[in-house]
Amino acid sequence: MRIVSLVPSLTEAIAVTVPGALVGATDWCTRPADLGPGVVRIGGTKNPDVPAVLALRPDLVVANEEENREPDLAALRAAGTEVLVTEVRTLRQAFTELERVLRACGAAGRPQWLTAAEKAWAAVTPAAPARRAVVPVWRRPWMVLGRDTFAGDLLRRLGVENAYAAHEDRYPKIGIDQLVADGAELVVLPDEPYRFTADDGPEAFPGLPAALVDGRMLTWYGPSLADAPAALSAALRAARR
């Protein structure tokens, strides 16, 4: 099969599980580190070059309802291209959608990494008591995790209560003064999509423990899910000190 992936997480999952199937991927598809010279870069997740995708004559384009824009997907469908759109807002959905995608891409069977990921998460025991946290994903303006997000579900399983889990927006924009005043016990700072670092982020939340986490472990659904529980737990523990 000839597959084009518009989602970095799924690019990694497909490349690892069905080697040679990918013919196109976005500029943000950074894993595996070397997709090979045969994989054409077709722009960003929000602005893919639709004619370039069509020129690759894909049997299937893999997308996500949150990461990709409907007008682009509609244009691909209108040109006769099959588009598989995933929805991933919980860990359970991630496992289900990964199986669906890999099966559609011609995987011979269930990959070992997917079974390992399920086992790793099944073994997680949430820290008690749960800590109420603010989880920024962008700065200038400040934007945080709100309701119904994959990253929020992972943190909940690890004993972190998202302070804005009940917000009407999935990624609300909230001023820093309000974020600081909302009484969280912890701030969780991933290094993507905004690259928070020890020198860029924690200073905005004086006196609040900061957990600097690998954004791939928190937001990607693919092979990284097998290592995510241990990596995220370690970062959260470090923030207790």
What is the extent of the structural domain holding 168?
126-238
Count of CB atoms situated within 10 Å of the CB of 191? 17
Token pair 């986490």 in the structure block, residue? 213
Among 237, 213, 197, 219, smallest CA distance to 152 is for: 219
Is pLDDT larger for residue 37 or for residue 162? Answer: 162
CA distance 122 to 120: 6
User: In this structure, is residue 116 part of a structural domain?
Assistant: no
Q: Classify strands 136-138 and 143-144 as parallel, antiparallel or unpaired.
A: antiparallel
**What pLDDT score does 239 carry?**
87
Q: What is the pLDDT of residues 193-241, one digit of tens each?
A: 999 999 999 999 998 999 999 999 999 999 999 999 999 999 999 986 5
Q: Are residues 132 and 228 in the same domain?
A: yes
**What pLDDT score does 240 carry?**
62
With 0-12 / 13-18 / 19 or more C-beta atoms within 10 angstroms meaning exposed / middle / buried, residue 66 is middle
Task: Report which residue type is found at 145.
Answer: L
Domains identified in the chain, total number? 2
**What pLDDT score does 13 carry?**
97
Q: Are residues 106 and 153 in the same domain?
A: no
Q: What is the pLDDT of residues 8-66, one digit of tens each?
A: 999 999 999 999 999 999 999 999 988 888 899 999 999 999 999 999 999 999 999 99
Of 81, 110, 139, which residue is a domain's last?
A: 110
